[in-house]
Homo-oligomer: A and B are copies of this chain.
Amino acid sequence: MTTQVIILNGGSSSGKSGIVRCLQSVLPDPWLAFGCDSFVDALPARMQGADGGIVFDPDGGVSVGADFRALDEAWAEGIAAMARAGARIVIDDVFLGGAASQQRWQKALDGLPVLWVGVRCDSEVAAGREIARGDRVSGMAAMQADMVHEGVTYDLEVDTTHTESLECARIIAAHAV
C-alpha cells in the first residue's frame, strides 16, 4: 500500500526540517509539508507565552494548555483530511507526550498508510546545533532529545548525529514508495 503520510518525530534541533525539505526534493511526487512550527504560526500571537497556549520556559521546557490541545487536535484531524483527499503529506512533530502523542496521531490518521520515522540526534550535538541556529530557546534540544521517543514505535529510525539530512531523506524515501 503506497505511503500517504510520512511522520517524523524528534526533539528540537534534531534536524527534522532539513530532512523534510530534502524529502520534498528527492520524492518524485509533490508532497505537502506541515509541522509543529507551522501549527504554532497559525495560533494567535497572544497564545505564545500564555496560560492555555504554549509556554517556552527559560530552561528549555515547553508546556501547553487546554486551548492549545483543542486546536492541535482539530489541526491533526485537518491534516489527516488533506491526506484522505489525496495529498501526500510529510509531518514533522515533537512528541512532547511520547507514546500519548503518537496515539493522538494514530487516531487522527486512522486507516491511512503512514510511515513512522524517528529522528534521533545525540543530545550534545543537538545542543550545539541549537546554538548554531540562534533562534531557539537554549536548552530545548538537550531536554527533548530522548524524552520525545519514550514509548514511541517506528517503522524506521534515522540519526542525524553523523548522517546528513539528504542521506536521511534518501533512506526514508526508499521506504515510502
Q: How far is the CB of A18 from chain B (nearest CB, A)?
A: 3
User: Looking at chain A's contact residues, is the secondary structure mostly helix, strand, loop, or mixed?
Assistant: helix
The number of times this chain is found in the oligomer is 4
A44 to B125, CA, bound (A): 21
- How many chain A residues touch B (CB < 8 A): the figure is 50
**Residue A154 CB within 8 A of the other chain:** no
Contacts of A21 in B (CB 8 A): 45, 131-134
Contacts of A112 in B (CB 8 A): none
Q: Indicate if the CB atoms of A132 and B166 lie closer than 8 Å.
A: yes
A-B contact pairs, 16 of them (CB 8 A): A18-B129, A24-B43, A30-B52, A30-B53, A32-B71, A33-B42, A33-B44, A38-B41, A70-B87, A73-B85, A74-B86, A74-B87, A75-B82, A128-B165, A129-B164, A131-B165
Chain A residues within 8 Å of B, Cβ to Cβ = 17-19, 21-22, 24-25, 30-34, 38, 41-47, 52-53, 67, 70-71, 73-75, 77-87, 125, 128-129, 131-134, 164-167
